Amino acid sequence: MQEPLGNPYQNPESTQSAQSAAGLGTDPFSPVTPVSVGGQGQSAPTNQSVQTYQLPFLAKVSRLAPIPGDPTNSRYGIVMRLKDVSQPQNGLGYIVRFADDPATGKQNNKQVQIIAWISKSLKVYPTTVPLTNDPSTNDVEGELHFDAWTDQKNLGAVRIQSNDGLNRTITIGELQLDFSGSGYSTGSLNGIATASSVDLGPYGPAATNSAAPAHATNTGSARHPLNSLLAAFWLAAAHFPKLRGEQLGMGAGRIVEIFQNMQNKPLADALDEIIWRGTTNSNTASPFERFAARQLIEAGAGQIREITAEHNLDVVQLDSTGQFWMRFNRNEITGLQRDIVLSVEGALNRLAAASRIAAKYDNGMGLVTTLTEAQDYRAGFDELHEWDTHTSFIQSRADARNSNLTVRGATAARGGMWDVMSRFVDICERLILPYRVEYRCDANPDTGEMVVNFTVPTSLMMPASVLTDSGWVGIREQRAAQAASYALRLAGIIAQAAFTAGTNITSLTVNGTLGSVTGAPVLSLAFTRTPFMMGTVPAFMAGQFNDPALDSDPAAVLQMLRPSAQVISFGPDRGLTPITALPIPQAILAHRVPLWRDDRELPDDLKALLGADFGRDLDVMYDGASIKGGEIFQIAEQNEDSPMSASLEIESALMGLQSEMPDLGERKPLYCEHPLMRLLVANLPDHTPQTRYVKAPDALYNSHIALARIHRDSGDLDGSLAQLQQALALAPTTAQPFVDESITYVDIAGDHAKGADVLTRGLAVAVMPGDVNFMYYRLAYSLWQTNNREAALACYAFMLGMGFHAQYEEAAEVEVRELMQEMGVDSLPDMDAVTHTLNKHGIPVAPLTSQTELLAKAAIRLVDAGFPLAADEAVWALGALSNDDRLGALRQSLRFGVLDEDAVLASERPAN
């Protein structure tokens, strides 16, 4: 069996030999015969009218060695000066062609034609006449140019500008310069071509890939004068293609540039462009482009346009793993459409694998020409057979620090529910797999039990062909068995991740769901820790699961896994069919009781922190009142033309609700707009460890808000404020009353100063990102109207910097541009300056540290105490505030566990 080309979890500093490429046969994706050296193919027209120049008697001419691809079979050189002709100051010389002698038809050693000039800024400008000025001083881009990397000034990309009318910049290679640090010298500076997508002949990079195209092999010295290297790049990538009548940059560039271009265009257009470059344009396509086109066509990329016409769909490349991720609403794109989307995602990940391998061979450039098509295929093939690599990576995480054990100063119990679940999420988020894995988990560390649901690919997502010595061969009939084999191998990896996440987990069930985490279960396997860790994991480590012979034999993979219990069914095509999963342990179901009827007692520290005695006391979603919260706003809407009628009806409802309220004794009624707001009571000024809260009916709070708005619309300032004070008394951890009060001051009294003061107080309460963003927007405008421009600009900068993308964002951008014009500034302040300005003006930097620290403390303690349903929204907010996808993924498991999602949602607000 061939060795894989690379480990996706490492960035090796050394290259390694690749396997030799197999012949591609007469496949329609194979390239046409390229133009060869010596003028075969299209000949360049002879142009006798081009002016020639005499070389001085003692002219210093740097003759260039022959470079492949010249249809005219000419000789070229670089001269620093010509007879009676100079060049712009500090130039690196003219690139010249030795002219033809009319008498003999052979090239003359004394007469030359100017074809380009090299500037001191390392740019090449085509020209047939001498230049008097350096075009780069006027910001004219060269046809070829060197662009140093931002972190290494002596190393950078060699790029050309396309001539297809789109002015695309295409990377064709990389140069390393001999650089002293004081600036570029002239022609004495040397360099090395470390990567190239065009054949530079003796100027090319040293060979690192024995099976790569010939231009990867350096037939001469690796170090050359810099102007000679730039001339070689320009001749091979620009001049010769133009002589052959070709567009510049075709079949060249970095793979990552193709990926970036794809993410900057409408998805369907970008995919069609990749397919066109590798099929319709296959005569000039690179091996990677032909490979990419095949993978996308077979994955069904042609149907993406129809899907994007109906739904929002785009793609991003994850920073964490380098894999592609299609972004879409999973409630809208379902069934066959979802399969196609994820099939294309899988194809893109095979391209990402090829990009990683190419970068190993060409100094990190990842050029489209570095690998042969066979090697591109091999990269994607290996990605499906790296189970030992995944196992080794998971094993390496066993002793790794859990970076989310402590969140905002709150530390979870080692080995507790938070520790185990967050460790499992961390491992899964780091896995570099060819297909997306969505997952949810649930655990009870006290009993050592854990259950994981994870997604498995459908047969449509598997590759449709393989590359053999005879060329590409279709394998569509094997895809169901291959999907089943992949799913079972993945089950082993998921099981290892779960056991690794918690050393106290001894009993595990893994359930594979088809296509999505809410899909039908198609496999359910139980494992016991010791037999799995001592028997199955070593088999993974030894590479036994890598064997391609297992790809179409899922039954053999199942036998190798050795589960302690199983529910699985194979169809006639050896694919997986729907099953009923193994039962969920009662110890896990115990903490999945809907919060509103969870009668379990809270630990003493949580009682004091949250002002609650039982799990049910933390619920804010279930509304058992005779009048529901939404009915109040319906009354207002139905009586929009008669505010008096609306007011009377709402006041009547309010009186009825108040009469229904039981005797609370020392308990306090509390309304929370969102569940996480229930966890913030410890920061209220009158909260004590003995304080207890009772959920106030939604309609009670909504009545005060609705009446306040009716009074506001009628111009009754005092009436509106009175109702808002009652709303705030019921909902002291909710930001909305502050927003309404601010609007009331502005709309009725035009008092932006008081409006700003209210919002400033409200920001000390706000935690939800939407509340924070909107309050800063309103505050910015009010501060602007009170001539506090500095603070206003800081507020605008803060809310725009959140990336919340609300409906009012466009209006905010218009306003801030006008404000900046008034202030005479050209740009928004950075976040450090924003924070300084907010502190200077006494404006909270929301959410306050005290709020987020309390939120983290409450959430972690609730999870460790076995109350995940009370913590899930708080964990989501903590993840959103810190841009931590792992907390967002953990939140899904906390809320739904491994239960049916629809059933969980229905249980939160049952019909009553």
Q: What is the pLDDT of residues 823-846, one digit of tens each?
A: 999 999 999 999 999 999 999 999
The angle, 0 to 180 degrees and rounded to 10, between the axes of the packed helices 831-840 and 789-801 is: 140
Tell me the residue ranges of DSSP E strands in 262-409: 313-317, 324-328, 406-407
C-beta of residue 838 within 8 angstroms of C-beta of residue 798: yes
pLDDT digits (tens, 9 = 90+) for 490-543: 999 999 999 999 999 999 999 999 988 999 999 999 999 999 999 999 999 999
DSSP 20: P
Spatial separation of the C-alpha atoms in residues 170 and 272, rounded to whole Å: 19
Spatial separation of the C-alpha atoms in residues 124 and 143, rounded to whole Å: 6
What pLDDT shows up at residue 674?
Answer: 96
- Residue 109 CB: number of other CB atoms within 10 A? 14
Spatial separation of the C-alpha atoms in residues 352 and 434, rounded to whole Å: 9
Residue 857 pLDDT level (bands cut at 50, 70, 90): very high
Question: Closest Cα partner for 689 from 622, 763, 602, 768?
Answer: 602
> What single-letter amino acid sits at 92?
L
Tokens of 68: 């492949």
Return the residue matching tokens 């729907």: 578
441: which strand partners?
452
C-beta of residue 209 within 8 angstroms of C-beta of residue 216: yes
What pLDDT shows up at residue 7?
Answer: 65
DSSP 270: H
Spatial separation of the C-alpha atoms in residues 350 and 412, rounded to whole Å: 39
Q: How far apart, in Å, are the Cα atoms of 850 and each of 159, 410, 732?
A: 51, 12, 16
Q: By percentage, how much of the chain surpasses pLDDT 70?
A: 90
Spatial separation of the C-alpha atoms in residues 420 and 890, rounded to whole Å: 11
Spatial separation of the C-alpha atoms in residues 161 and 230, rounded to whole Å: 14
Tokens of 120: 């001191």
Question: What is the domain partition of the chain in residue ranges?
Answer: 53-141+172-209+220-244, 255-379, 385-590
264-268, 279-283, 450-454, 666-670: range with highest mean pLDDT: 450-454
pLDDT at 735 over 80: yes
What pLDDT shows up at residue 769?
Answer: 93
> What single-letter amino acid sits at 455?
T
Residue 25 pLDDT level (bands cut at 50, 70, 90): very low
Q: How far apart, in Å, are the Cα atoms of 715 and each of 123, 703, 711, 736?
A: 69, 18, 6, 20
> What single-letter amino acid sits at 375?
Q
182-186, 280-284, 756-760: range with highest mean pLDDT: 756-760
pLDDT digits (tens, 9 = 90+) for 236-294: 999 998 998 887 877 788 899 899 989 989 999 999 999 998 997 667 788 999 999 99
C-beta of residue 458 within 8 angstroms of C-beta of residue 483: yes
pLDDT at 817 over 80: yes
What pLDDT shows up at residue 104?
Answer: 67
Residue 166 pLDDT level (bands cut at 50, 70, 90): low
**Helix (H) / strand (E) containing 568:** strand 565-568
**Helix (H) / strand (E) containing 160:** strand 152-161
C-beta of residue 407 within 8 angstroms of C-beta of residue 857: no
**Helix (H) / strand (E) containing 99:** strand 93-100
Spatial separation of the C-alpha atoms in residues 100 and 81, rounded to whole Å: 20
Tokens of 659: 């009469």
Three-state SS string over 471-531 comes to: EEEECHHHHHHHHHHHHHHHHHHHHHHHHHHCCCCCEEEEEEEECCCCCCEEEEEEEEHHH
**133-142, 480-489, 524-533, 874-883: range with lowest mean pLDDT:** 133-142
> What single-letter amino acid sits at 124?
V
Tokens of 307: 């899907």
pLDDT digits (tens, 9 = 90+) for 778-789: 999 999 999 999
What pLDDT shows up at residue 49?
Answer: 65
Q: How far apart, in Å, are the Cα atoms of 686 and each of 109, 279, 661?
A: 97, 72, 22
Spatial separation of the C-alpha atoms in residues 8 and 11, rounded to whole Å: 8
Spatial separation of the C-alpha atoms in residues 908 and 905, rounded to whole Å: 5
**Helix (H) / strand (E) containing 241:** helix 240-243
pLDDT at 150 over 80: no
pLDDT digits (tens, 9 = 90+) for 652-665: 988 988 888 888 88
Question: Closest Cα partner for 455 from 486, 425, 477?
Answer: 486
- Diameter of the chain by CA atoms? 116
DSSP 451: E
Spatial separation of the C-alpha atoms in residues 510 and 582, rounded to whole Å: 9
170: which strand partners?
160
C-beta of residue 503 within 8 angstroms of C-beta of residue 534: no
pLDDT at 297 over 70: yes
C-beta of residue 873 within 8 angstroms of C-beta of residue 855: no
- Dihedrals φ, ψ of 521, to 5°? -70, 135
C-beta of residue 666 within 8 angstroms of C-beta of residue 692: yes
- Residue 420 CB: number of other CB atoms within 10 A? 25
**Contacts for 816 with CB less than 8 Å, ≥ 6 apart:** 780, 793, 796, 797, 800, 828
C-beta of residue 494 within 8 angstroms of C-beta of residue 456: no
pLDDT at 4 over 60: no
Spatial separation of the C-alpha atoms in residues 876 and 857, rounded to whole Å: 14
Tokens of 761: 């107080």
DSSP 601: B
Segment 86-107 shows an average pLDDT of 83
29-33, 38-42, 619-623: range with highest mean pLDDT: 619-623
Residue 179 pLDDT level (bands cut at 50, 70, 90): low
Segment 791-818 shows an average pLDDT of 94
Residue 41 pLDDT level (bands cut at 50, 70, 90): very low
Spatial separation of the C-alpha atoms in residues 638 and 706, rounded to whole Å: 13
C-beta of residue 682 within 8 angstroms of C-beta of residue 691: no
